[in-house]
Structure 1
Amino acid sequence: MITGRAHAGRMTESHVHLTDDDVRAARRAWLAAHEEDPDSGRTARLHDGYRRVVNAQAQQIADDFRARRAER
């Protein structure tokens, strides 16, 4: 899901919210491609996408934690 903050009618910051379901879907797609052809470019791209989704979700969790901690 993509959300953003509006400032005077324009988007100033966008944010992609990744869920555990997003991570699982990316993993399933990569593993299915790996079973078909482990050495294909598609498999490599899906693995890279999966890695990026995992990293982005980890960053999201860290950002949310820091924001909650700053509110105290």
Structure 2
Amino acid sequence: MGNDETAWRLDVTDDDIRAAKRAWLDAGDHGADNDEIASRYATYRQLVVGQAQQIADNFRARRAS
């Protein structure tokens, strides 16, 4: 990863994921339309995938050093 790419990296926290999951579940519980529910789920999923990538990147970096 080049310096330009790492400058734009965001760290996804467990709190970020919990908040996104809550927003997704709340949308379904409060009668939001399917598009809104799908959008909130997509955000939640992207955060989970992003955090998994962070964990993998950190593991590889520690292993390489």
Range class of TM-score, shorter chain: 0.7 to 0.9
* Shift in Å, 1:61: 0.5
- Note the residue ranges of structure 1 that are not aligned, 5 or more in a row: 6-11
RMSD of aligned Cα (Å): 1.3
* Shift in Å, 1:34: 1.0
Greater percentage in strand? 1
- The percent of aligned pairs where both chains have the same amino acid is 51
Structure 1 runs (4+) deviating above 3 angstroms are none
Structure 2 equivalent of residue 31 of structure 1: 25
Greater percentage in helix? 2
Distance 1:38 1:51 in 2: 18
- Matching of residues 1-72 of structure 1 within 5 Å: 5=3, 12-13=4-5, 14-37=8-31, 39-71=33-65
Aligned residues: 61
Per chain length, whose mean CA-contact separation is higher, i.e. which structure has more relative contact order (CA < 8 Å, sep 6+)? 2
Q: Look up the equivalent residue of 1:34 and give its one-letter code.
A: G
- Note the residue ranges of structure 2 that are not aligned, 5 or more in a row: none
Task: Point out the structure with max Rg over C-alpha.
Answer: 1
